[in-house]
Structure 1
Amino acid sequence: MRKITIIGGGFAGLTAAITAAEAGAKVTLHESHHTLGGRARTAEGPYRTNDGPHAIYSGGPHWTWLKQRGLLGALAPLPALEAAKIRFHHRGALRRVPPLGFLRQSFRTAEQAPVDVDFRTWATGLAGPDAAHAAASYSGVALYHHDPGALSARFVQERLHRATSIPAEAHFVKGGWGQLVERMAARAWELGVRIETSSRIDALPVGDGPVVVATALPSAARLLGDPSLTWESGRTVLFDLALRTRKGDPFALSDLDAPGWVERFTTQDPGLAPAGEQLIQAQLPIGPGESKADGIAHAERLLDLGFADWRERTVWRREAVSNGRTGAVDRPGTTWRDRPAIDRGDGVYLVGDQVAAPGLLAEVSFTSAVEAVSLALRAERRRKALDLKSA
């Protein structure tokens, strides 16, 4: 078929490039940054941090797709003894187990939850206000939103159920997301994809085959000249710390009083930090009227409870705000089908984690990328059929 142009070299763009090249398309991928990866980059240097967690859920379609192509690579298993070291901040104190009502709520499947009712109202009717609040707060680990209870019950329940599944769906890419990106890039090269980094595209190519826009939604809106390309996302403080190792630190700390998550990523992958140090990331959703300082203060309160002498043990820290870059969230009455459409018309397709595709976190990027290429291929077959008919 004709050339397919892909704008954006993150997880969605690379997925689209590989899918199109496997189907025989001539693919050119443009990435404005000097390296590939987008939000799936892993920092260079002694502290291998990611722009958020680098968990990949085995229940999603991308798991099978990556595994079939040998792209999944080595995973960092979580030792069973360490998995038991998760602590829950509930009613101002650290606890080893969450409330019983929370556990019961987590077993419910998403199909049981209504779309047009907020999670807080629905869960309160089933489990009571305390369990509903705790369940909503815990779901923040997969939402990055300051008030998950206000979102669609169906949307939140799916994420709660998958985040608490036994055995755990969450797996960790050894070495961070950057290792997965490198394998995907190598696969794309093998298939003949032309990859151009430091290549900023300010206008859509015209008359040169389908175009897949795989950028963040605000960038896509500017490129397509379409301000309607918006959807709500979370706003989260990311607080990375390297601490000198100390026995007794928890694996993770979940705040059930307000959404917040602290995780020791070197528990399962010690190579993310130098020997004798451990890498911790706190993710604290903040509301519209809150600042980065509010999120950092929240993180420090949790660290004070769970990580003894963490201030004295700190050897490195980094603070950032992830604004509108944490995936779509659905309000009551909306589903993924209501998000910006993948097919924008005239051979232009939009992919990413805030468009009309199902899934959890990175799965939305994957499913939208595969769907975009599928739509482009079908349109190309129709074009060829019409050309043959007219000839």
Structure 2
Amino acid sequence: MPRIHVVGGGLAGLTAAITAAESRIPVTLHEAHHTLGGRARTSDGPYLTNEGPHALYRRGPHWAWLARRGLLGPVASVPPLEGARFHFRRGGTLRRTPPLALLRLARRTAHRAPVGAGFLSWATGQVGEEGARAAAHYMGVALFHHDPGSLSAAFVQERLRRATALPPEARYPVGGWAQLVDRMASRAWNLGVRIETAVRIGPGDLSGLRREGPVIIATHLDSARTLLEDPTLTWESGRTALLDLALRTRRGDPFVISDLDAPGWIERFTAQDPGLAPTGEQLVQAQIPLVPGTPRADAVRRAEDLLDLGFPGWRSRTTWRREALASGRTGAVDRPGTTWRDRPAVDRGDGVLLAGDQVAAPGLLSEVAFNSGIEAAVLAVRLLGGTAPHTPRTAGTP
């Protein structure tokens, strides 16, 4: 009997497996690690951290996809009483408000921003250089890139509007992203998906899988390039240093510090989900994009400078610390003259399909993984002559 194989058990792979299995076609999901989730894994232990400041955006396509299947689960919103604790570094000091020009720019619709121009040059013509540069640096949190101003104006502006929407779109799975991954895995299991963990698929294994049916490669793009032996599978991403801290609780700590002098972001995740750390402790994460070739230590020093400004006595209050570097693992970014349509195509031909957050699908952050996973599954089902729903119209289509 024909079978669809999905290689990779992150958000894209789980989405693809569920979508394909809903069409009553046998599916096998292969994951190289012992646990599912990919970059959506939540660390074990008393401090429940993720690889980056993960958030679901409630107006996005994956929010509706999860909600229809009862997979959304409890989510936390931006704390309503924390508004006064949203700080911005401007000119080396912390302030409570961003430049008015940044807010004016955020109200402009994305379709007014040209695909072929850089964001900084276009935005400077709209609101002046100071506001444009502040907006570009602010978008480091949603792009994980060291120079958002150099990217396509249409690409950045769409994300600026969604990142500054009121009320805020961002929602956080209570208990960390592992809770969402567990619900998706249970859904896949109940649909009959065969889940095989600790199984690494190599280039030589693909021909055997292809004899049974279509294969969906839902891995990091670098891994897909090696697996498919296809050097064309490349696209630009960011390089970001992550600093996770557990601090003893202090009244008055900020919820967020956004660095408008250079791309950088600090967020106190226990402000919206206290269960991420033991009682009496706060979980804080700094995310600092890095210029290629720059050592991680440079970003860590910048993060510590921000902490000095906003978290008094943080060094003596630290009970746990972890540093990491996310290189090429932070989603696709589009240069001037390109859009998501120019990224590596989902359909690679000969029954091989691609899913992940650096492929040709629209969306903000993890929405790309969801959208490409759905599209890959729909195409795989149709290749077998099955009936699959039309790929839904999704957010983020310039």
Question: Same fold by TM-score, threshold 0.5 exceeded?
Answer: yes
Question: Residues of 1 paired with 2:249 and 2:233: CA distance?
Answer: 45
1:198 maps to what in 2?
A: 198
1:182 counterpart residue number: 182
Which residue matches 1:64? 64
Q: Distance in 2 between matches of 1:320 and 1:246?
A: 25
> What SS is found at the alignment partner of 2:329?
strand
2:19 is the counterpart of 1:19: yes
| Residues 214, 383 of structure 2: 8 Å contact kept | no
Residue of structure 2 aligned with 1:285, choices 275, 283, 289: 289
Helix, strand or coil at the partner of 1:304: helix
Other-structure match for 2:394: none
Partner residue in 2 for 1:343: 347
Is 1:261 paired with 2:253?
Answer: no
- What is the distance in 1 between the residues matched to 2:79 and 2:266? 18
Distance 2:324 2:317 in 1: 21
**Aligned equivalents of 1:348 and 1:356: distance in 2?**
15
Counterpart amino acid of residue 213 in structure 1 = I
* Residues 1:252 and 2:256 are matched in the alignment: yes
Q: What does residue 377 of structure 1 align with?
A: 381
Look up the equivalent residue of 1:164 and give its one-letter code: T
Q: Which moved more, 1:80-89 or 1:349-358?
A: 80-89
CA positional deviation for 1:116: 0.1
Q: Give yes or no for the alignment of 1:40 onto 2:37.
A: no
Letter in 2 for 1:163: A
Structure 1 CA distance for aligned equivalents of residues 46 and 109 of structure 2? 41
Deviation at 1:206, TM superposition (A): 3.0
Distance (Å, rounded) in 1 between the aligned partners of 2:109 and 2:258: 21
Aligned position for 1:235 = 239
> Which residue of structure 1 lines up, in the alignment, with residue 279 of structure 2?
275
C-alpha separation between the residues in 1 aligned to 2:295 and 2:83?
32
Contact 2:355 2:373 in 1 (8 A): yes
Q: Distance in 1 between matches of 2:86 and 2:240?
A: 21
RMSD over aligned Cα, in angstroms? 1.1
Alpha carbons 2:23, 2:386 under 8 Å: kept: no
Give me the TM-score of the superposition, normalised by structure 1: 0.97
1:382 positional shift: 8.7
Cα distance in 2 for residues equivalent to 1:167 and 1:248: 23
Look up the equivalent residue of 2:213 and give its one-letter code: G
Deviations 1:97-123 (A, max 9, x none): 000101101111211100000000000
Contact 2:243–2:286, Cα closer than 8 Å, also in 1 = yes
Partner amino acid for 1:173? P
Q: For each residue in 1:258-285, what CA deviation from the matched residue of structure 2 results, as whole angstroms up to 9, or x when unmatched?
A: 0000000000000000000000000000
Instruction: Provide the residue aligned with 2:392 in structure 1.
Output: none
Q: Please say if residues 33 and 199 of structure 2, whose CA atoms lie closer than 8 Å, have aligned partners that are also in contact.
A: yes
Separation in 2, partners of 1:76, 1:122? 35
SS at match of 2:123: helix
Structure 1: segments with no counterpart, 5+ residues? 384-391
The secondary structure found in structure 1 opposite 2:24 is coil
Residue of structure 2 in register with 1:386 after alignment: none
1:1-391 aligned within 5 A: 2-203=2-203, 204=206, 205-381=209-385
How far does the alpha carbon of each residue in 1:72-127 deviate from its partner, in whole angstroms, 9 at most, with x for none? Answer: 00012333111331000011111000001011011112111000000000000010
Cα distance, 1:289 vs. partner? 3.1
Partners of 2:56 and 2:329 in 1: CA distance: 17
Aligned length: 383
Distance 1:233 1:286 in 2: 11
Task: Check conservation: 2:43, 2:49, Cα contact below 8 A.
Answer: yes
Q: C-alpha separation between the residues in 1 aligned to 2:92 and 2:351?
A: 54
1:227 aligns to what SS in structure 2? Answer: coil
What do residues 123-170 of structure 1 show as CA deviations (whole Å, max 9, x unaligned)? 000100000000000011100000000000000001111000001010
Q: How many Å separate the matches in 2 of 1:26 and 1:381?
A: 13
Unaligned runs of 5+ in 2: 388-398
Cα separation, 1, equivalents of 2:109 and 2:18: 33
The equivalent of 1:389 in structure 2 is: none
Structure 1 position 354, deviation (Å): 0.0
2:42/2:178 contact within 8 Å kept: yes
CA distance in 1, matches of 2:377, 2:64: 18
